[in-house]
Amino acid sequence: MRKSNDFDGGIDFMSMKSNQTSSKLNVLNTPKIFTILVDDVVVIKNKIVVNIGQIVLRGQVLALGYKNIAPMHSPASGLITQITNEEFKFFSNKRYSVINIQSDGKDRWINRTPIHNYKDLSVNKIIQFIYNAGIVGLGGAGFLSSKKLKYSIKKVHTLVVNAAESEPYVTSDDCLMQNFATEIVQGCQIVMWILKIKFVLIAIEDDKHLAYIKVHDAINHLSGFEIRKIKKKYPSGSSKQLIKTLFDQEIPSGKHSIHLGIILFNVATIFSIKRAILNGEPLTERIVTLSDKDALYQKNFLVRIGTPVKHILLENNINFKSNSIILGGPITGFIVDNVNFPILKTSNSVLFLKSSLLKYELEQPCIRCTMCSRACPMNLLPEQLYFYSKSRDHDKSKEYSIQECIECGICEQVCPSNIPLLTYFRKEKLKINKIILKENLSTKFKKLFLSRQSRLRSLESINENIILSNSILDKKFEENLILDKKIENLITNKSQNIRKVELEAAINRAKQKQKLNKCLIDRQ
Amino acid sequence: MNYVSHKFNIDSDPIVDKIDALLPQTQCAQCNYPGCYAYASAIGNDGESIDKCIPGGNEIVFKIANLLNHDELKYKNLCSSTNILQKIVIIDENNCVGCSKCRLVCPVDAIVGSYNFMHTVLPSMCTGCGLCVPLCPTNCIKEKKILYDSLY
């Protein structure tokens, strides 16, 4: 029998979290210039609402949402200086367009409309408010919270609040719980009212004693709330592993926890839902941990979304040239080359390490020690997937269910021959997604082509039927038709001649254009 | 034999269908055949060389080679085409005179409009084959590259 409070695989990292510093919340000075990243799809669909030179207030909408992308809000009041298409380095070669805002330092808000009597309004309206506030899952995935809520109406019976920050160095959720425990409970009550849930489970890792006490005090006299400590083990913060540890149930592949009747929210998301409804504030700031390699310097800041990383480091007198910087957790995060890269909605920590530490050791051949497959929390075979992805065997890697990989990065940490497995898998996943997209497109095109052909065939058959019926009726009419056909043939021959002339004319035109271009180039 | 051929009548060639399923179905005629099915039947029946599909690129060549038991090494030095981008055709609607030449040629009925009226392309249906570009008398059809993700 398996234990109910555990999952397969995973490793116990040194937590590198100092409990003393995580209780205090520092406030950062606002930078002069904010840079806000907007997804490229939003730009294509013309969803940016502001123009260059416009004065905006804090909380004003900059770009509307589209499908899976939430609307963006201005983090401070000021002037919009530029809107450009820049290419930031990221996992994929995704393009972002950048909106720069010069803050005036006055921090004027838009008219905030707090809704204290949310129980009088309809459910859809409140979900719409949550969407308008631009709230996404702040744990890391960045999925739209409003869509999650809408999808799980009348389907769920428990709410799980994910407060298990399993990644080392990160203490932002811990700090949030210690400072805003009552507000988190209020946020839970809003979600409970929306989905008509009567049971809430808050899962906290067992090394966060202070946060546990604070939340325990906040929910002491309330019914339907329960708080549970779980074992400190990476990746217990992942949704599938959390549900396995709490309920001893496994989510089947290709399905979501909602299918089991459980809805999962991060603590920070619930806090921002409370802020959006009871205070009327859209999502413009979040708590970010700043930490160094030995966790000697560890602080939590309330940072506006869109603050450049450079500003945070300069405010704390850290030399960003001799350090290399990681945005996000140390395992799933990514190295920032451009120091002007801003804090995103999903980034929960900034790590700075001495640059000598980041030099990767040489990648050596795989020796099939199977350390990675023993450590994998999803029970996959990383060494097998590595060989398939290296030899571009997409069908085989799909068969070994690479899409189930949650990108926790344990296999990479465990590997004795320093193979960057996670980067291989990310690339492979992107490629597989592209292949699926292409297949969908080709089936769609084929359907369209066949429908057109059937249409043409039906037209031809109609013509033939006319001819047959006429042959019975009158011979003269038939002769007329034959004459018509002869005339048609003549016309087509003529048109072919005309086409030849046209082609020659077009070729001449093109040649003249080329000449003109050459002249222009020569002049320049 | 007569009875069997009558009873288990096969309309289509199974090998040609399999090759056709691998092809990208853009119907662009860059292989000098009028469509993807015609090219597939030419490969299956007449022994046409398999490396003529330009939008398909390397991957499709390898797939067909696997299907037909060709020697893959023969095609290893092909230039690879990265298909991250897809083409789409756009009509400049102010200059369209409504000759409806482009509409008649389009293999997937992606162009909408009638005679003497303005024409437009439905971007979600366009395969980017570019057959309509040289036919336009006013030169108002242009090709545009887009990302796959922005379609959906």
Per-residue pLDDT reduced to its tens digit, A171-191: 899 999 999 999 999 999 999
Cis, bond preceding B137 (omega within 30 deg of 0): no
Res A58 pLDDT > 50: yes
Provide the pairing of β-strand A199-205 with A225-230. parallel
d(CA A312, CA A325): 12
Element (H, E) at A449: helix A421-473
Q: What is the DSSP letter of A133?
A: T
Model pLDDT for residues A104-127, shown as the tens digit of each residue: 988 899 999 999 999 999 999 999
d(CA B128, CA B145): 9
Place of tokens 């085989």: A396
Alpha carbon of A479 to those of A75, A109, A465, A483, A486: distances in Å? 80, 84, 16, 6, 10
CA angle at A344 for the pair A245 and A118, rounded to the nearest 5°:
70
* pTM, two decimal places: 0.77
Tell me the mean pLDDT in the region A250-267: 89
Q: Which of A132, A141, A107, A118 is closest to A193 using CA atoms?
A: A118
d(CA A154, CA A197): 9
How far from the centroid of its chain's Cα atoms is residue A327's Cα? 15
Position A487 scores a pLDDT of 61
Res A12 pLDDT > 70: yes
Q: Measured between CB atoms, which of B25, B109, B110 is closest to A446?
A: B25
Model pLDDT for residues B13-56, shown as the tens digit of each residue: 889 999 998 998 888 888 888 888 899 999 989 888 888 888 87
Contact in structure between A234 and A13 (CB atoms under 8 Å): yes
Position A297 scores a pLDDT of 83
Contact in structure between A280 and A115 (CB atoms under 8 Å): yes
d(CA A8, CA A121): 44
Tell me the mean pLDDT in the region A365-371: 91
Q: Measured between CB atoms, which of B25, B26, B148 is closest to A434?
A: B148
Tell me the mean pLDDT in the region B124-132: 86
CB spacing of A452 vs B107 below 8 angstroms: yes
d(CA B59, CA A116): 59
d(CA A228, CA A247): 12
Q: For residues A457 and A360, which has the higher predicted lDDT (pLDDT)? A: A457
Model pLDDT for residues A259-277, shown as the tens digit of each residue: 999 999 999 999 999 999 9
B152 pLDDT band, cuts 50/70/90, is very low
A41 pLDDT band, cuts 50/70/90, is confident
Res A15 pLDDT > 80: no
Place of tokens 């051929």: B5
- What is the token pair recorded at A203? 């899962």
**3-state SS string for A276-310:** HHHHCCCCCEEEEEEEECCCCCEEEEEEECCCEHH
Tell me the mean pLDDT in the region A210-231: 90
Rg (CA), chain A: 30
Res B62 pLDDT > 90: no
Q: Report A:397-456 residues touching B (Cβ under 8 A).
A: 434, 437-438, 441-446, 448-449, 451-452, 455
Q: Measured between CB atoms, which of B35, B83, B109 is closest to A448?
A: B109
Q: Which of A218, A319, A233 is closest to A270 using CA atoms?
A: A218
Tell me the mean pLDDT in the region A361-389: 90
CA angle at A166 for the pair A164 and A169, rounded to the nearest 5°:
120
Q: Which residues are A136's β-sheet partners?
A: A144
Burial class, A231, CB count within 10 angstroms (exposed 0-12 / middle 13-18 / buried 19+) = middle
CB spacing of A449 vs B25 below 8 angstroms: yes
Res A61 pLDDT > 90: yes
Element (H, E) at A11: none
Percent of chain A with pLDDT over 90: 38
Tell me the mean pLDDT in the region A121-147: 90
A40 to chain B: nearest residue by CA?
B150
Nearest-CA distance from B99 to chain A in Å? Answer: 15
d(CA A257, CA A385): 26
A472 pLDDT band, cuts 50/70/90, is very low
How far from the centroid of its chain's Cα atoms is residue A319's Cα? 31
